[in-house]
Structure 1
Amino acid sequence: MTTPWLEDARALQSKTVAFRRDIHQHPELGLNLPRTTAAVRTALQGLDVDIVQGTSNSGLIVTLKGDPAGATILLRGDMDALPMDEDTDVPFKSRIPGAMHACGHDAHTAMLVSAVHLMHAHRDRLAGTVKFMFQPGEEGDFGARHMIEDGLLDLAPAPTAAFAIHISPNIPSGVIASKPGAFMAAPDQIAISIKGQGGHASTPHLARDPIPVAAEMVMALQALVARRIDAFDPVVLTIAKIEAGTTHNVIPESAHMLGTLRSFSERARAKAHEGIRRIVTKIAEAHEMEGHVEITAGYPVTVNNAAFVERVRGVTSALLGEKGYRDMPSPVMGAEDWSYVLQRLPGCMVFLGVAPPEVKPAHAHSCHSNRMVMDEDAMAHGVALHAAIAEEYLASAR
């Protein structure tokens, strides 16, 4: 059942690569991606599919109708880039200053476009309907939630399962990896401000210096993680920015810090939130200062349906061989707004390895690196897996 999908996906490889390189050179940020969306529409011209766009963003739902009595599966590719300059030497590097496809969303979109073509050419093999979710705004803009709020997932026939692929340069090329349960973390943003009293650097006793207080808070926050959070329900807390002061001989009035909290359960998340607020306010009070915390909640934990992961394992092994699938020993602390879809539908996300052939996966530049590159040959595996999962799920749901 699965082998022809891989052969046909490889036959489409030149088009998959060309599409990926085109949008790689023209990355767009956020929820509104006019060029990328237009490129998807152009690539699908002439196919017998329905295309609906959301009212609040550039998200598209492309529907390939099959047996009306059958089930419906949703497949997703995100389309937005990151706000960073590219520092690679590939001939198709970004032409847009301050924007780069450093997280592989160009590959996700290209694979999904080719998957539409692949399944359209073999509609007779599909015992139901396939919906393709081309999503903007994954990089912190809640694009999946916006598409859900626009009602795009409720359009008849509504999907009954969902599947997504995310590339990873740190996994061997062409290998699929996943796990049941918690797959990716919930990310929260932490903003801390400390208000003291400015003064001359030579007389700190006449001022209230927020800088050593900020340093004390950073160390106390790390102790919170190590000593107050269950090691078997872990969190990661990183203070990534500290800002204070103007020159060498002035004690500033205030200090500001930014950081991120990653967690895999609401229990650990809530305990960390409580601890962060307590540490900031109490340490500030101990030094006769004011401490304030603002925690901005990010995406929920991405949780894979265990039964669907087993389905993917079986399909992948048939498609790519027994070594084509790897069990992940633990989740990753990155985050995904695919979590909103998996709260509504049974399904899962998998990683597709795209490590460059000349680099050991552990040494490859990871997603979100300004030097991230990928093995494009692996995209054929992603295209074929989209089709194979859709075929197997629709057949089993009859």
Structure 2
Amino acid sequence: MPDTRFAGLAAEAESLRPSTVALRREIHRHPELGLHLPRTREAIQRALADLPLEITVGKATSSVTAVLRGALPGPAVLLRGDMDALPLREDTGLEFGSEVEGAMHACGHDLHVAMLASAARLLAARAGELAGSVVFMFQPGEEGFHGARHMIHEGVLEAAGDRVDRAFALHVHGNMPAGHLRTRPGPIMAAADTFSVRVVGKGGHGSAPHHAIDPVPAAAAMVGALQTLITRRVGVFDPAVLSVTRIAAGTTTNIIPETAELEGTFRTLSEDTRALVRSELPKVCEAVGAAHGCRVHVDIEPGYPVTVNDPMETGRVLGLAEQVLGFDRTGVMPDPIMGAEDFSYVLQRVPGTFAFLGACPPGLDPEQAPSNHSNRIVHDEGALPAGVALYAAFALDALRPAGPALAG
């Protein structure tokens, strides 16, 4: 039976569309990168200024944490929206396109901020229905800067007093129909680590390689050996992806260089496989280098952990989405995505769910449309009310009073 508390939620979210769109476009015009986003933070604070929220800003970053207290005591839940843009020149032709050269909201974080701010407004109007608190986590530095970890260190999980006991985040997806939700229990996004390899030989003349120790064939052999590591040491049911994305050596045609360099990334869906690849990668490169008479230096830079959805919370989100969006707009992803996400740090500590919200513009084939991180990506603003309603539904469901809800 449909939950009557959600009957008017979509309409309320739709009524907030003008302000949601306005905030999204303001942020889209003025994208900021990394952990320090002063203009974005000011826009968020202005959007929340008239609401009954306890607002704090980060010390190490430009984060914003806002707490809404319900009418009754109870637990706390967390809703996250990330804030930062990408170092990319925008080529969309939008009239509200980026005004900052070399920066663009190509991953939809501008939509995330706008949806979360409007969800705060919607929930503030329904505070009488909440038994507990909602923590709104406006997070900088998702694009490789570990912003969630900084906010956790500064206490976002305890912002309401006791630690939050559930968490939810949405991410728009340019290759899904607008307003559709997809998620899955268990791993939904991969861990992402990077590696760099420096191969040291002995330089010499290109005409006399026997008088040199050439690092180039050693480096080339490592590329193949690393792929063999993945296919022969990693189980197919707990996969890994490894890509050598940069290889460099030499300065001209008649000089054998002294050094060669490799760089790349590997993605894994469990901490066991991640640990295996991190352990074996240096051994493979060092052994190949030794066979060529080269010295090898390997550095592995840890990235985000695996993003793992709690099965119970994920089932709850799917059920909420069916009520708010409709059964035909809700589905389970068959496979994880090998991209990475720093909401993983939150889900390591709190049961919760990360879900994708479709934002492909109408008239485009989702399979062919530009994807997130493309300089030509356009996200459909028609998806914004769906995200607002989903954020609000998650909090309303998690903080339902034990008895009849109080009047607003």
Interval of TM-score (by shorter of Structure 1 and Structure 2)? over 0.9
Counterpart contact for 1:237–1:259, Cα < 8 Å = yes
Letter in 1 for 2:308: V
Tell me the residue number matched to 1:175. 180
Tell me the residue number matched to 1:128. 132
Q: Which of these residues, 157, 167, 190, is aligned with residue 153 of structure 1?
A: 157
Letter in 2 for 1:125: E
Aligned mates of 2:329, 2:30 — CA distance in 1: 32
In the TM superposition, residue 290 of structure 1 has moved relative to its aligned partner by 0.8
Q: Which of these residues, 202, 205, 226, is aligned with residue 200 of structure 1?
A: 205
In the TM superposition, residue 52 of structure 1 has moved relative to its aligned partner by 0.9
Q: Which of these residues, 225, 230, 236, is aligned with residue 235 of structure 2?
A: 230
Tell me the residue number matched to 2:367. 362
Counterpart contact for 1:54–1:152, Cα < 8 Å = no
Aligned mates of 1:131, 1:155 — CA distance in 2: 7
In the TM superposition, residue 342 of structure 1 has moved relative to its aligned partner by 0.9
Counterpart contact for 1:182–1:304, Cα < 8 Å = yes
Aligned mates of 2:58, 2:314 — CA distance in 1: 29
Tell me the residue number matched to 1:36. 40
The alignment status of 1:289 with 2:319, answered yes or no, reads: no
Q: Which of these residues, 371, 377, 393, is aligned with residue 388 of structure 1?
A: 393
Counterpart contact for 2:200–2:295, Cα < 8 Å = yes
The alignment status of 1:211 with 2:216, answered yes or no, reads: yes
Tell me the residue number matched to 1:47. 51
Q: SS at the partner of 1:213?
A: helix
In the TM superposition, residue 397 of structure 1 has moved relative to its aligned partner by 7.3
The alignment status of 1:243 with 2:263, answered yes or no, reads: no
Tell me the residue number matched to 1:259. 264
Residues 312-354 of structure 1 deviation map (CA, whole Å, 9 limit, x = unaligned): 1111101111112110011111111111111111111100011
Q: SS at the partner of 1:257?
A: strand
Q: How has the CA–CA distance of structure 1 residues 397 and 133 changed in structure 2, closer, same or farther, with 3 Å as cutoff? A: farther
TM-score by length of 1: 0.97
Counterpart contact for 1:70–1:397, Cα < 8 Å = no
Letter in 2 for 1:109: V
Mind listing any 5+ residue stretches in structure 2 that lack a counterpart?
A: 404-408
Counterpart contact for 2:137–2:156, Cα < 8 Å = no
In the TM superposition, residue 125 of structure 1 has moved relative to its aligned partner by 2.6
Aligned mates of 2:324, 2:206 — CA distance in 1: 68
Tell me the residue number matched to 1:84. 88
Please show how residues 57-96 of structure 1 align to structure 2 within 5 Å. Answer: 57-96=61-100
In the TM superposition, residue 126 of structure 1 has moved relative to its aligned partner by 2.3
The runs of 4+ residues in structure 1 deviating greater than 6 Å are: none
Letter in 1 for 2:61: N
Residues 5-26 of structure 1 deviation map (CA, whole Å, 9 limit, x = unaligned): 1111111112111111111111
Identical-residue share of aligned pairs (%): 49
Aligned residues: 398
The CA RMSD over aligned residues, in Å, is 1.3
In the TM superposition, residue 191 of structure 1 has moved relative to its aligned partner by 0.7
